[in-house]
Amino acid sequence: DQQVKQNSPSLSVQEGRISILNCDYTNSMFDYFLWYKKYPAEGPTFLISISSIKDKNEDGRFTVFLNKSAKHLSLHIVPSQPGDSAVYFCAASAATSGTYKYIFGTGTRLKVLA
Amino acid sequence: DTGVSQDPRHKITKRGQNVTFRCDPISEHNRLYWYRQTLGQGPEFLTYFQNEAQLEKSRLLSDRFSAERPKGSFSTLEIQRTEQGDSAMYLCASSFTLSTTDTQYFGPGTRLTVL
């Protein structure tokens, strides 16, 4: 039962353009969502998060959008840079249900072409 | 920098041997988590501690797995009688929780290979 889904295994974008990574979830109890970036042989690095009481959160080049009715979130990276090339994971938790574990998607490999 | 650290970074063992991994969280973080990641998958939750209390365990955590956080600081994850299916990256994360928005920070992971 895949509660968090990233349906695009890979994405290629030209440097300077926008990268849009998508994530869908099925559990309506999820109330906190995060994006992590992962390089090979390293642990995931926290990028940005959003609480279910918001629909947008911005941090520099990174913006996360949450559409609760569609159970969909997306990460926008503008402008994309070659150093952004990595695997991106979305994660969700249902903290108000008393559990703090994260459920992760399977990841999207982003390649930013110079 | 006092991020999450894990030791060892790599472990190769033979099937049937026991292995133990250590995680040192960010100081003052009260929650510590263990996840496992296999190729092509996202991290999967194994267990978590709040201070020294183990509050939740996944069904993935068979009887061969045990985790401890004896003084509410570092944690160990032991796998007994390893099997080839245990080969994975074992990730530790920590957080300091004041509210329900609990952001977990991950260590570099321990890559386990069971031959």
Looking at chain B, the whole-number percentage of residues with pLDDT higher than 90 is 82
For chain B, what is the mean pLDDT? 93
Does B103 sit within 8 Å of A49, measured CB to CB? yes
For residue A101, which residues of chain B lie inside 8 Å, CB to CB? Answer: 33, 45, 48, 56, 58
Radius of gyration (Cα) for chain A, nearest Å? 14
Closest CA relative to residue A25, chosen from A86, A108, A90: A90
pLDDT in tens, A33-69: 999 999 988 899 999 999 999 999 999 999 999 999 9
For residue A96, which residues of chain B lie inside 8 Å, CB to CB? Answer: 100
Chain A residue at shortest CA distance from B6: A43
AA letter at A74: S
pLDDT in tens, B14-68: 999 999 999 999 998 999 999 999 999 999 999 999 999 999 999 888 899 999 9
- Could you please report the per-residue DSSP string of B49-84? EETTEEEEE-TTS-TTEEEE-TTSS-EEEEE-S--G
Task: Judge whether residue B89 has pLDDT over 70.
Answer: yes
For residue B100, which residues of chain A lie inside 8 Å, CB to CB? Answer: 31-32, 95-96
